[in-house]
Structure 1
C-alpha cells in the first residue's frame, strides 16, 4: 500500500503511475465494448443468413430497420444513462446498461420466431439502449480513474476492445458455417454470443466504488472520496471539497456558449465519422458484394464477403485502433483526428471516382484502398471521438456530455446504415455512396479544426473548464468588504 499524506486526492489521481487498478478498470469497461461492437456489427451477417435459413425475403425497409434499429435506440440509451450518470452517480447505474444489453441479445436469439422480423427489431431496440448506455458510462468512468499522462491511452484501450469484437463477428460466422450446423441455428448462436462477454463483468461493474471526482466535485463528500480511493487503489491521500462543488444547475452549464460549441465539435465530428463507419461495417456483406463474381451465389457468396470483411477488419482496422491508442498521448487527439478525416476523404474519393475498382477484376486494388480507409477511421476519428467527450466537459455534466456526443454519433450511424440500403439500390450506387462519404469526411475535418481543443496531458479540471467555473463561483460567493 502506498501513502501520499498531505497530497490532494485529485492530484493523487492525476499523478499516479500506471497500476493494477487502471488495468482492472480497463478490463471491466473494455469487455463491454467488445460486446457492443460484436452486437452492432453482427446483424449485417445475420440479415443475410435469415433468408438462407428459410425466412421469407426481407423488403428494403425491413432490412434497413434490422440493420439500424439498435443504432437508433443507442441514442436514447446514451442520453438517458448519460444524464443518470450525473444525477445519481457513476456507481449507482454502472452495470445496468449491460443488463439491458444481455436481455436484448438473448431475446434476439431465443425469443424470435421464424419470419418474426418485427419481434427481432424490438429486441434489437432493447439491445441498443444498453449499448448507448455503455458509451456514456464507460468512457466517463475510465477518464475519472485515469492519470493525466496516460489518460488518452487508458480511455483508448477501453474503446479499442471494439476492434476485437469487430473481428470476432466474421471469424465466428465462418467457424459456425464451416462446422455444418444448420443455418437456422447459426443465426441464433451468432446473436446469443453477444451476451456472453457482458455477463462476465456485470457484477464487477456493480461493485465498483464511486469515482473520486464525482464524490468531491459533485456530491461534496470528501470522506467517501478518500475512503473509496484507498479501498480501490491502496493509495492514501487527503480529500477536501473546498471551492470544488459547483452549485449552478447542469442546464446552465451545458448551455454556455463554450460548452455548446464543444458539444457541436464532439457530437458533430462523431456523427460524421459514424455515418461513414457503421454503414460500411454493418453492411460489409453488401458493400463487398461488388468483388464477388455473379456466378457465386447463396451461402458461398456470403462466405466470400465474410472472408473479405475479416481481412479488412484484421489487417486494417485492428492495427489502426491500437496504434492510435498507444500514440495518442504523444501525437495528440486533434492531430490524429485531423489525419484520420483527411485520409478517409481521400480514400473514399478514390473509390468513388475510379468506379472501375468496384468489380471482381480489381479485388486486391479495392481491398487496399478500402482497407486504407478503415485504418484511418481507427487511427483517426473512431478512437478520438470516444476519448474527447469525457475530457472536455466538467464533472457535473461529464456524463451527459459524453452521452450526447455518443448520441450524435449513433444518429449518424443510424442515418448512414438506413440510407446505405436505399442508396445502394438506387441509381447513385456504390461509387456515388463513396463520394458522399468523402464529403462527410471533409466536413468532419472542418469540425475538428474549428471546434475542438487539444487535451493531451492536461489535467481534466483544466481542459474541461471546470477550474474556471469553480473560480468564478467561488469569487462570486465571497462577501463584499465593508467600506
Structure 2
C-alpha cells in the first residue's frame, strides 16, 4: 500500500537536504559493486561460448571448429535473463515486505553460490554439461534480478536531492566496469593458459588446438564472478536499513532516525523522531486507479524506455563477438587455437568497453544533474539510433578490408 502524508517526515527531509559526505560514496561503492557483479556475471558468458563450442561440439574431421548449436547457444546466453526477470519480480516484492537490507544479503549469497556452481557444471555428455550450466545460470540470474533493482533503490533512498541523479548514475556506471573486468579477466586467464599450454591453430592440428586444460579456463572465468560479490558481502551486512523503508513501510521513524544518525551527519533529535507520524494517510493499492492516475504515466515511460534500451544494449553485448568475426576484425576460427580465439574475443570486447561503454556511463554521471534526466536520455537514444543505423545500412561496406576500424569506432559510440 502507498500513502500520502500531509506532514512530511523530518527524518526524510533531513536526508534530502543532508550535505554530501563520505558515507554517500561508501554507499555508492557497496551498491555499485552489485551492478559490477551483475554485469560481470551476465556478460562473461559471451566471452566463453565459442570456447564451449570447440570443447564440446567439435566434430572429428570437420574443416571448421565446433560451435554451439543455435538452440544451445540461445539457452546458454539467455537463460540468466529469464532468471533475472523472475528475480526482479520476486525480490522486488520481497524487498517491500522484509526490507532492503535482508533481501540484499539473500540475493548476494545466491549470486556467490551460483557463480561458483556455474563453473562446476558437470555431466558425461555435452548436453548434460550445458543443461547443468543453464540450471545454475538461471538461478544466478534470479539472484541478479533481485540485486539489480535493490542496488538502485538503496542508493536512491540514501541520496540527497541535490546529487541523487549523479549518485544513482554512479551506481549504474559500475556496470561498465563489470563488463570491462570480464574482458580483462578473460585476457589474463587465457594468456596464462596460452603460455603454459601452447597449442596450434585448428587448421594445423584440430585435436591439439583445444588442450584439455581449456576446460578449466571457462570455468575459472565464470567462477570469478563470486569474488566481487563475496568481497562486498560483509559491508552490505553492515549497512543499516534505509530510513525511507523503516519510516514509511515499517513505520518506525525513531529507528530510522537512529540508523541514519550512525552513518550520516544529520541532525535528528529523539523528540523529532517521536513526532514523525504519518497523519491523514489516504491509502490506495498498487495499480489501483489512484495509483495509475498519480504514477501510471511515469511508470509506463520509464519502463518502456528501459525495455527498448535493453533490447539493443544486451543483444549487442552478448552477440558482438559474432559480429567481430563476421566483419573480419577477428581472424577466422580455423586459423586460431581455442585459447587464441578466446584471447582475441576478450581483447576486442575490452577495447569496446574501455573506449565506449565506460566513458559513456561517466559522461552521464557528470552531466545528469546539469542538463537533466530527460535531455541526457534523449541524447543517448538519438546517438544509439544514429550509430546503429550507420552500422546496419552500409553493412557490407564495413565488412571489406580496411574498413574494420571505422566499424569499431562507430560501434564504440
Matches for 1:51-200 after TM superposition, within 5 Å: 51-55=53-57, 57-113=67-123, 115=126, 116-180=129-193, 182-200=213-231
- Which residue of the partner structure matches residue 381 of structure 2? 341
Moved over 6 A (4+): none
Partners of 1:77 and 1:254 lie apart in 2 by 27
Structure 1: tracts of 5 or more residues without a match: 1-6, 373-483
Alpha-carbon displacement from aligned partner over 1:386-413 (angstroms, at most 9, x marks no partner): xxxxxxxxxxxxxxxxxxxxxxxxxxxx
Give the deviation of 1:251 after TM superposition: 4.4
Alpha-carbon displacement from aligned partner over 1:74-99 (angstroms, at most 9, x marks no partner): 01111111111112222332221111
Count of equivalent residues: 366
Partners of 2:134 and 2:108 lie apart in 1 by 19
- Corresponding residue to 1:19 among 18, 21, 34: 21
Residues 49 and 228 of structure 1, relative CA distance in 2, 3 Å threshold:
same
Partners of 1:351 and 1:82 lie apart in 2 by 37
> Is 1:288–2:324 an aligned residue pair?
yes
Report which of the two structures shows the higher radius of gyration computed on alpha carbons.
2
Alpha-carbon displacement from aligned partner over 1:269-303 (angstroms, at most 9, x marks no partner): 11111110111111221121123244744534443
- Of Structure 1 and Structure 2, the greater helix share is in 1
- Which residue of the partner structure matches residue 254 of structure 2? 223
Give the deviation of 1:18 after TM superposition: 1.1
Instruction: Tell me the C-alpha RMSD between the 2 structures.
Output: 2.0
Give the deviation of 1:134 after TM superposition: 0.9
> Is 1:252–2:283 an aligned residue pair?
no
- Corresponding residue to 1:276 among 298, 303, 312: 312
Give the deviation of 1:152 after TM superposition: 0.9
- Which residue of the partner structure matches residue 210 of structure 1? 241
- Which residue of the partner structure matches residue 207 of structure 2? none
Query: 1:312–1:371: 8 Å Cα contact kept in structure 2?
Result: yes
Give the deviation of 1:39 after TM superposition: 0.6
Partners of 2:87 and 2:239 lie apart in 1 by 21
Structure 1 stretch 113-122 or stretch 361-370: which is displaced more?
113-122
TM-score normalised to the size of structure 2? 0.84
Alpha-carbon displacement from aligned partner over 1:317-354 (angstroms, at most 9, x marks no partner): 11111111121111111111100111111111111111
Give the deviation of 1:53 after TM superposition: 3.2
Query: 2:186–2:342: 8 Å Cα contact kept in structure 1?
Result: no
Structure 2: tracts of 5 or more residues without a match: 1-8, 59-66, 197-212
